[in-house]
């Protein structure tokens, strides 16, 4: 009886870590959607949604479009991470399938790759693969 309780407790521990990540991801998603909703409202109000308008928009609006793109990228990553939580792939690097360090997931619960793969990918794509630490993580 006692032994069973211990096993259950450790299983629960794993589950609570996952639900912790899930909560973070959902919070992040709400935050991003709220931020994007605000920006979209502002842009829609000004009739500046089409991308080929970019040449005409002011510097400030251009920045806001860029931020929006970044939010959208992170939102996509967040949704993908939630999918992985659902089908049990969460926490494994999508490239080498090694577990992603929990410390990395604490900071970036939507991380797709382990640090090593991310570094390789970043140096190849000039850091465009995952808009992480500098941009999204700092906010």
- The residue ranges that bind Zn ion (CB under 5 A) are 93, 95-96, 114, 117
Q: Provide DSSP, 36-49.
A: HHHHHHHHHHTT--
User: CB of residue 81 vs Zn ion: minimum separation in angstroms?
Assistant: 15
Count helices and strands (H / E) in the chain: 4, 0
Q: Of 61 and 80, which has the nearer Cβ to Zn ion?
A: 80
Closer of 69 and 116 to Zn ion (Cβ): 116
Shortest CB 92 distance to Zn ion, Å: 9
**Smallest separation (angstroms) from Zn ion to the CB of 118:** 8
Residue with smaller CB distance to Zn ion, 53 or 80: 80
112 and 122 Cβ atoms separated by less than 8 Å: no
* Whole-number Cα distances in Å, 18 to 53, 94, 128: 42, 18, 27
């Amino acid at each position: 009886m006692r032994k069973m309780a211990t096993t259950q407790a450790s299983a629960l521990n794993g589950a609570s870590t996952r639900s912790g990540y899930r909560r973070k991801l959902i919070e992040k998603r709400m935050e991003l959607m709220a931020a994007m909703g605000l920006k979209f409202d502002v842009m829609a109000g000004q009739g500046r949604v089409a991308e080929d308008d970019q040449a005409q928009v002011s510097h400030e609006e251009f920045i806001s479009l860029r931020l929006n793109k970044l939010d959208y990228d992170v939102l996509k990553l967040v949704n993908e991470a939630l999918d992985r939580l659902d089908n049990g792939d969460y926490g494994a690097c999508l490239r080498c399938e090694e577990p992603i360090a929990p410390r990395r997931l604490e900071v970036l619960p939507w991380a797709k790759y382990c640090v090593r793969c991310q570094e390789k990918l970043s140096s190849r794509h000039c850091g465009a693969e995952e808009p992480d630490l500098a941009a999204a993580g700092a906010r």
